[in-house]
Amino acid sequence: MPANLPPQYYEAEKEYRAARTPQAKIEALERMLAIMPHHKGTDHLRAELRAKIAKLQQEIERQRTAGGGRTPFYTVRKEGAGQVVLAGLPNAGKSALVQALTGAPLRVADYPYTTQVPQPAMMPFEDLQVQIVDTPPVTPGETPGWLRALFRQADLLLLIVDLGADPFTEAQTLWDELQSMRIRPHPPGTAPTGDDPALPKKALLVGTKRDLPAAEENASLLALEWDARLPVLAVSALTGEGLGDLRRRLVSALEVIRVYAKPPGRPPDLERPFVLPRGATVEDLAAAIHHDLKERLRYAVLWLPNRPAQRVGRQYVLQDRDIVELHAG
């Protein structure tokens, strides 16, 4: 299947070839990945670009080490069903929110700049685990390169604002800072249009400290002002208000499905689902289980509740919570 790459892809490719630093090359490669259409014809190219990004990240780390560590470069390896990275100004309540979502014992204080390095933690949701990453506060014009790289690699960004302070100015400041990093936040489930060269990134706008006196009114006004750009959610890490809805919205925004493998002649393993991108096929499941299985796969049996088992082919598009029995030759 041909790749059918759009003109914007080749423009980003030119930027990659002209880039003189590893970070600039990574940013161009990430744009190429974001622009590239998702179909079987681009699978090999997508894997090549990701391998180049990984190699460049290793080069950055080697340069940092060789320089005596004078310029820290922090990375967070993705784990779980997806990586959600928080972005917020000082004292916006990021650490308290991560602790409330994950139960991780993060350092939380009522003064700014408590978080100095990225702190990942896992958020349980039903039978999934989602990685939530707390980060140092965004400082306009001074955000370090490694934090910009972390924002760009995230599967989802949470823009965190303080509903008890001035969430309107905070939201606009975060928006402008991301734009300066050539990152374009957009609502989950939408496809950005136009010729904007910035990297499109799914994002939600989350107002914290919903328990404070002015928070409810500020949340309503913030939604009126921002709903056209990003979905707005109001939460309280202290009382738990809105956290259940936020967890559901995070998982939905990641656009993943859970598939349970059933070995022939044995019951399915319903404790550990395979997490795949929405739109994945039986063939993708086989590759996730073992790279050799994809080549040897002949067909699959789909086990449906209260219905007879159904034989399906390699290109059958899986749905969330499907139970699949693979047969290989």
To the question of pTM greater than 0.85 for the whole model, the response is no
Whole-number average pLDDT of the chain? 86
E strands of the chain, at which residues?
Answer: 83-88, 119-125, 128-134, 156-162, 183-186, 199-208, 232-234, 256-261, 274-277, 297-303, 310-312, 322-328
Q: Which residue has the higher pLDDT, 72 or 251?
A: 251
Q: Does 27 score more than 90 pLDDT?
A: no
Q: In angstroms, rounded to a whole number, what is the distance separating the alpha carbons of residues 261 and 303?
A: 10
State the helix-helix crossing angle for 94-102 and 243-254, rounded to 10 degrees. 80
pLDDT at 111: 46
* Per-residue pLDDT reduced to its tens digit, 135-192: 989 988 777 778 888 998 899 999 999 999 999 999 999 999 999 888 999 999 887 7
Q: In angstroms, rounded to a whole number, what is the distance separating the alpha carbons of residues 105 and 82?
A: 21
- Determine the distance from the C-alpha atom of residue 17 to the mean position of all C-alpha atoms in its chain, rounded to a whole number: 27
Q: Which CATH class is domain 256-328?
A: alpha beta
State phi, psi for 298 to the nearest 5 degrees.
-105, -50
* Per-residue pLDDT reduced to its tens digit, 236-245: 999 999 999 9
In the structure, what pLDDT confidence band is assigned to residue 4 with cuts at 50, 70 and 90?
confident
What share of the chain in percent tops pLDDT 90? 48
Q: Which residue has the higher pLDDT, 122 or 48?
A: 122
* Per-residue pLDDT reduced to its tens digit, 88-101: 998 899 999 999 99
**Domain range summary for the chain, segments of one domain joined by +:** 1-73, 76-254, 256-328
Q: Which CATH class is domain 76-254?
A: alpha beta
Print burial letters for 64-98: b (CB count within 10 Å at least 16), e (below 16): beeeeeeeebbebeeebbbbbbbbbbbbbbbbbbb
Print burial letters for 138-170: b (CB count within 10 Å at least 16), e (below 16): beeeebeebbbbbbbbbbbbbbbbbbbbebeeb
Q: Which residue has the higher pLDDT, 310 or 26?
A: 310
pLDDT at 195: 67
Q: Does 129 score more than 70 pLDDT?
A: yes
Q: In angstroms, rounded to a whole number, what is the distance separating the alpha carbons of residues 213 and 154?
A: 33
Q: In angstroms, rounded to a whole number, what is the distance separating the alpha carbons of residues 209 and 161?
A: 9
139 three-class SS: coil
Q: Does 1 score more than 70 pLDDT?
A: no
**How many other β-carbons are positioned within 10 Å of the β-carbon of residue 301?**
16
Q: Which residue has the higher pLDDT, 236 or 197?
A: 236
Q: Which residue has the higher pLDDT, 309 or 257?
A: 257
Share of the chain residues as helix, strand and coil, in percent rounded to the nearest 5: 35, 20, 40
What share of the chain in percent tops pLDDT 70? 90
State the helix-helix crossing angle for 22-35 and 7-18, rounded to 10 degrees. 170
Q: Please give the average per-residue pLDDT across 288-315, as a whole number.
A: 87
Question: What fold characterizes domain 1-73?
Answer: Methane Monooxygenase Hydroxylase; Chain G, domain 1 (1.20.58)
